[in-house]
Structure 1
Amino acid sequence: MPITEKYRARTMSAAEAAALAPDGAKMVVGLGVSYPPALMDALAVRVRSGDLTGGTLYCMLACAAASESILAPDLHDRIRHVSLFHGGVERGNDALRAGSAQGLVETLPVQFHQIPRILTEHLRVDTLFVTVSPMDADGCFSLGTNTDYALMVARSGARLIVEVNPAMPYVHGDCKIPLSAVTAIVENHVPLAQIPPLPRTPNDDAIGAIIAGMVEDGACLQMGIGAVPDAVCAALMDHRNLGIHTELLTPGLVGLIKAGVVDNSGKKIHPGRSVFTFAMGDQGLYDFLHDNPALEAHPVEHVNAPHIIAQNDRVISVNATIQVDLSGACNSEYMNGRQYSGTGGQLDFVRGAYASKGGRSIIACHSTAAKGTVSRIVPWLDGPVTTPRTDTHIVVTEHGWVDLKGKTLSERARALIGIAHPDFREELERGAFERRLL
């Protein structure tokens, strides 16, 4: 049978495709931009009508559209929602805010590079819903912006239901799914979700300049999302021969590629290519990704594996945190008494960057939060430890930076107090004495 006929044979409506998930299905949906809206709308109709019962849906960074569809408040008692990393949908969930046992969004703590194995080996998910690019001449779909955990799940034998969207960029790398692996195809041409850039503040720019001063020409970058990483990228425009091996590809990093600052010439693994596992940003980012051989997407179990990261020299990893305690431990996921985000890939890159020859793992944060009323450097963390004190390398605020490696607990406490906001330093010193760090 010609490949076009095979394609047509698997093509159906969103309702028909959603009906393929059985009662009690263990389902996972594409991360962020790869969330398939037509399929999730159809799945929500099934759940709401009682046609699908006992199902579990695993999500990571669910997009805003999910809050009016499969993750709508009225469905929380009809489908189990397990979050691998909270986004705005989970943070805005009334049941979660109230701490209600019924309808509660459950959190699964897991490092990003382990998620594919968790989904396929431990949880044994049976259905993947994901947005892909149109099929190429070889009969393959590209996972586009989101290879991350989707590739391993797609190769695990799980039921693979794809939403083909011409707006999804065709991306190169280890991110292709053959038509033969696909159970059902739904066609839906809609704009991709876009993440507008956050406005930068003087503190962001101060932190960005400090970090940029630590980056040597020829270094290899990993950046998170947000105003601070954007500020770092803006401050790197005079650098040369930088590389990219990052979990998340952002418009800030793309700007460095377009400016010729990034050429990946010094990389030991994937030389000459900017490597990422998922991308989020504006339409300009998606347009730049499309059919661009200078960029490659690879699965997260490869990109985020510390031993893979460490194969490149001079890796600079920049990640944000919510709190740093006076011993150097970081809480990057819990705030105001509840889960705010997730473990994610922070520890993956903290360890990978430090293991890199000449590498630096950087944790960055403003010195205060809540309009200056709360210190982000604290005697004790209010939540879980995302990055242990034994792993934390460099901490940066707008007041400076400290290298915690080789420092005793008392030396760490004094160093961190030194980059805290001046309004809180006396209070932190008292806290250090109470903790018997000083």
Structure 2
Amino acid sequence: MTPADSTGAEPDLARYIRPHDMVVWGQASAEPRTLTGLLLAQRARIGRLRCFVGIPAESALTLETSDGLDIHSYCGSGTNAALHAAGRLDVVPVHYSALPRLLTDGPLRADVVLVQVSPPDGTGRHSLGLADDYFSAALDTARVVIAEINDQVPFTPGARTLGTGDWTAAIRTSRTPGRLPAGRVTEQTRAVARRVAGLIQDGATLQFGIGALPEAVLGELGDRRDLGIHSGILNDTAMRLIEEGTVTGARKSADRGIAVAGLLSGTEPLFRAAHRNPRVRLHATAYTHDPEVLAASHQLAAVNSAIEVDLTGQVNAETAGGRYVGAVGGAVDFLRGAARSPGGLPIVALPSTARGRSRIVARLDGPVSTPRSEPLIVVTEHGVADLRGLSVAARVERMLAIADPAHRPGLEAAAEAIPAAA
């Protein structure tokens, strides 16, 4: 299989993919966009398909190319939100650590995996390059694996490697991987980031999610020493901290001297810096989100964002205004790990308001993504509410103190209706 046969025709994916197959591919920068573009262009000829997708980054899958597909995802990020709002995408509310099992056993088991890999090394092995992550488990169980060998994908240490015997067919391409640049950082976001950064000490091991706030937190840590990284994702800002010597991993409990992640997602400088970089290692979700590994990490600071948090510490990270825009994701996995880590910090951070509305609320407008039974430290630009080990009444008091002052009177009135045994 090549990008085009001798007549200039596109490769015929119908040779490998059957109607009603579940097709899975890497998310964000790891999406094999030539293959997904071909799949979507040929979807009418192949027949109705099921797909499981993750975070989009310049994805070939859009509202215009999604008809005729039954699409599933764990998240509503980016363009997934529009797909969900249009009734084209079903969200599976699941912890990130459960995703590998979901795709290898059960109703969402992958029949076909489309995978983007690097050029081969001297032994003929190709690196997964930009993501080992959750989808790679399905490489062992899928009926068909089709590879896109992209000469702009880095050969990343630690990432699983594949040889020609590991796929059914392959194409060769040369294109910049999908980019996921940092979001716009407002002064409010920066103020929250400074509060979070003030909690993080030299030598801490960092976990962070995707978005403007986690990147802003990283941007405030330039004066720290010997930070480590064990995270689901590695982005441009984190790579800059590695190159500047702020992140050395010298005090990590495991993988000392190495930044561990499941996914690289950002822009070209990140992709170039990761190539054969001994200070970076990719691992599958089974390792990055392993509860025992996280609990043993030195001072694991888990920094996760939220859409809203109620006065008792329940977190909604999934929906806003009735639209699915987030995910359950790996927050609970990492918050639990940080809570068990010696000196760990299970942090949920968010600006106190959005569009004039309080994000500290008396009652959640969406689902409970993280229950209040999890030990949490909630941070806004107005302060830090450490809820670990507190009663309901004490939690309410601390949450009121970090709400926007303009909204506190209304929240205080609503709090009177919350019984101490709520």
Q: 1:200 aligns with which of 185, 189, 192?
A: 185
Q: 1:62 aligns with which of 39, 56, 64?
A: 56
Superposed, 1:27-426 pairs within 5 Å as: 27-48=23-44, 51-67=45-61, 71-73=62-64, 75-76=66-67, 78-93=68-83, 96-97=84-85, 103-122=87-106, 123-370=108-355, 373-426=356-409
8 Å CA contact retained: 2:52, 2:73: yes
Offset of 1:319 from its aligned partner? 0.7
Give distance in 2, aligned partners of 1:162 and 1:211. Answer: 41
> Which residue identity is paired with 2:76?
H
> Which residue identity is paired with 1:404?
L
Give distance in 2, aligned partners of 1:317 and 1:65. Answer: 28
Give the aligned partner of residue 412 of structure 2.
429
Give the aligned partner of residue 7 of structure 2.
none
> Which residue identity is paired with 2:187?
P
After alignment, is 141-150 or 57-66 more displaced? 57-66
8 Å CA contact retained: 1:66, 1:72: no
After alignment, is 242-251 or 223-232 more displaced? 223-232
1:401 aligned counterpart, secondary structure: strand
Give distance in 1, aligned partners of 2:14 and 2:3. Answer: 10
8 Å CA contact retained: 1:19, 1:46: no
Offset of 1:12 from its aligned partner? 5.7
1:85 aligned counterpart, secondary structure: coil
Offset of 1:245 from its aligned partner? 0.5
8 Å CA contact retained: 1:12, 1:184: no
> Which residue identity is paired with 1:73?
E
Offset of 1:105 from its aligned partner? 1.2
Give distance in 1, aligned partners of 2:121 and 2:12. Answer: 24
8 Å CA contact retained: 2:260, 2:281: yes
Give distance in 1, aligned partners of 2:252 and 2:14. Answer: 43
**RMSD of the alignment, in Å?**
1.7
Offset of 1:188 from its aligned partner? 1.4
1:76-106 CA distance string (max 9 Å, x none): 2x2211122222222123xx435xxxx5311
From the superposition, tell whether residues 192 and 38 of structure 1 become closer, same or farther in structure 2 (CA, over 3 Å). Answer: same
Aligned residues: 415
Give distance in 2, aligned partners of 1:338 and 1:208. Answer: 26
Give distance in 2, aligned partners of 1:247 and 1:278. Answer: 6
> Which residue identity is paired with 1:64?
E
Give the aligned partner of residue 6 of structure 1.
none
- % identical aligned pairs: 33
From the superposition, tell whether residues 154 and 56 of structure 1 become closer, same or farther in structure 2 (CA, over 3 Å). Answer: same
Give distance in 2, aligned partners of 1:12 and 1:337. Answer: 42
Give the aligned partner of residue 11 of structure 2.
15
Give distance in 2, aligned partners of 1:43 and 1:319. Answer: 34
Unaligned regions of 5+ residues in structure 1, if any? 1-9
Give distance in 1, aligned partners of 2:201 and 2:231. Answer: 17
Offset of 1:74 from its aligned partner? 5.9
Offset of 1:232 from its aligned partner? 1.7
Unaligned regions of 5+ residues in structure 2, if any? 5-9
After alignment, is 58-67 or 296-305 more displaced? 58-67
Offset of 1:11 from its aligned partner? 4.7
